[in-house]
């Protein structure tokens, strides 16, 4: 395609919560702008964004999610915005979720005769179990399949997530892998700081066990609390730290009075926290990739993770850390204890984790492959038309 590619990205959260999806999309839009692609982002509107976004953002009205007001549900694309999209005359629509705004964008793309690609970021079906709504999973899977079948490509972030989608019957032959990268210069063991550890009240001889991410039920906070509490009852010189915040924070503080609650950290502050920790623990079973796990690995940390999507594609069991079935809490505790007791094993696993993060997860390569897929989607669609 000789002319500049024009792309509409329709998403839910682009700048109102600083989570992995929003940060990835912002990084993508910034990169595309430097590589001969014009991007219009369509996303929910909020009065106070969490951070300054990349690129051209057009907003749709939104409503708070019941009982989870920090999240928003975007509403359909209105007539004025539709007119601006028509004037923009995109070659391609990229939709990040089959929500109200996503369905609206899909309808508009079909009316314009434009191809649509989608990306899979969030395991909404697995969230249902944490809110006692698991009986809705088959219905949600069918709805997702119906949506994604109308897309030229479905970009999935990890091999393990591809396999899960196939098992659930959610996606067909249009899946393509869109992995994730990590900032190798920011997330590095070189950021380790004894001064930072002491400022958190961590002793020089204590092993610091870190979790990073939002403190929400669907990240398996209940399991994390039980494992960290059991760890605190052992005669083991260690501290635990949570790098994040969220609606479960108060419950976690009550359950874990000896844990350090650092809140949300960003940029170099987050990189220092990773590098100044000694090992990383993630019990989540709902990740499609696991950006925080990759950041921890790039920072030279061995990982103990639930054997689930996302982590399964990153952590090499017995090489960079341990994967443990989510039902085996005692084994999770034993693996954490094993690494806490063995500094040589931590070093070996951590060095290998860093090597893998640097070798396999370069942002420029990741985005270059996606851009090639974009162009392939447009070319293939136009050929059929």
The reported pTM is 0.87
CATH topology of domain 5-181+362-384: Rossmann fold (3.40.50)
Spatial neighbors of 108 by CB under 8 A, at least 6 apart, are 77, 82, 85, 93
- Does residue 177 come out as left (phi exceeding 0), alpha (psi in the -120 to 50 range) or beta? beta
User: Residue 251 — pLDDT band, cuts 50, 70, 90?
Assistant: very high
Q: What percent of the chain has pLDDT over 90?
A: 78
Position 187 scores a pLDDT of: 98
pLDDT at 158 over 90: no
Please tell me if the domain spanning 5-181+362-384 has the same topology as the one spanning 189-360: yes
Superfamily of domain 189-360: Glycogen Phosphorylase B; (3.40.50.2000)
- Residue pair 211/244 in contact (Cβ under 8 Å)? The answer is yes
Question: What average pLDDT does this structure show over 30-37?
Answer: 96
Structural tokens at position 252:
């976690």
DSSP structure string for 184-241: TTTS-GGG--HHHHHHTT--TTPEEEEEES---GGGTHHHHHHHHHHHHTSS--EEEE
pLDDT tens digits, one per residue of 125-140? 666 666 666 777 778 7
pLDDT at 104 over 70: yes
Q: Is 278 helix (H, G, I), strand (E, B) or coil?
A: coil
Q: What share of the chain is helix, strand, coil (3-state, %, to 5)?
A: 45, 20, 35
pLDDT at 2 over 60: no
pLDDT tens digits, one per residue of 47-71? 889 899 999 999 999 998 876 767 7
Position 385 scores a pLDDT of: 62
- Residue pair 239/202 in contact (Cβ under 8 Å)? The answer is yes
Give the Cα-Cα-Cα angle 254, 285, 218 (nearest 5 degrees). Answer: 45
* All structural domains of the chain with their residue ranges: 5-181+362-384, 189-360
Rounded CA separation 26/287 (Å)? 19
């Amino acid at each position: 395609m000789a002319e500049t590619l024009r792309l509409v990205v329709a998403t839910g959260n682009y700048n109102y919560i600083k989570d992995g999806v929003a940060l990835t999309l912002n990084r993508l839009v910034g990169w595309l702008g430097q590589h001969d692609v014009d991007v219009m982002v369509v996303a929910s509107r909020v009065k106070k964004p969490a951070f300054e976004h990349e690129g051209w953002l057009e907003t749709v009205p939104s409503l708070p999610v019941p009982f989870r007001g920090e999240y928003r549900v975007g509403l359909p694309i209105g007539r004025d915005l539709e007119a601006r999209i028509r004037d923009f005359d995109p070659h391609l629509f990229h939709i990040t979720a089959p929500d109200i705004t996503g369905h609206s964008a899909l309808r508009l793309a079909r009316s314009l005769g434009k191809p649509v690609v989608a990306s899979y970021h969030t395991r909404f079906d697995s969230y249902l179990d944490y809110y006692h709504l698991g009986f809705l999973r088959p219905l949600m899977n069918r709805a997702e399949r119906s949506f994604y079948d109308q897309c030229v490509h479905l970009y999935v972030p990890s091999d393990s997530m591809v396999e899960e989608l196939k098992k659930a019957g959610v996606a067909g032959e249009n899946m393509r892998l869109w992995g994730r990268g990590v900032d190798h210069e920011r997330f590095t063991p070189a950021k380790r700081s004894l001064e930072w550890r002491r400022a958190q009240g961590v002793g020089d001889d204590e092993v610091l066990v870190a979790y990073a991410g939002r403190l929400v039920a669907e990240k398996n906070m209940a399991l994390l609390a039980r494992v960290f509490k059991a760890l605190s009852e052992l005669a083991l010189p260690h501290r635990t730290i949570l790098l994040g915040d969220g609606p479960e924070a108060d419950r976690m503080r009550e359950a874990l009075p000896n844990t350090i609650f650092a809140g949300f950290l960003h940029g170099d502050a987050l990189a220092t926290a990773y590098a100044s920790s000694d090992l990383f623990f993630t019990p989540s079973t709902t990740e499609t990739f696991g950006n925080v796990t990759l950041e921890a690995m790039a920072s030279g940390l061995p990982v103990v993770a639930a054997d689930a999507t996302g982590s399964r594609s990153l952590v090499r069991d017995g090489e960079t850390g341990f994967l443990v079935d989510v039902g085996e809490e005692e084994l999770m505790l034993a693996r954490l204890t094993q690494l806490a007791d063995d500094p040589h094993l931590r070093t070996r696993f951590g060095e290998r984790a860093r090597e893998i993060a640097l070798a396999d997860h370069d942002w420029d390569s990741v985005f270059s492959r996606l851009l090639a897929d974009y162009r392939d989607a447009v070319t293939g669609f136009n050929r059929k038309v």
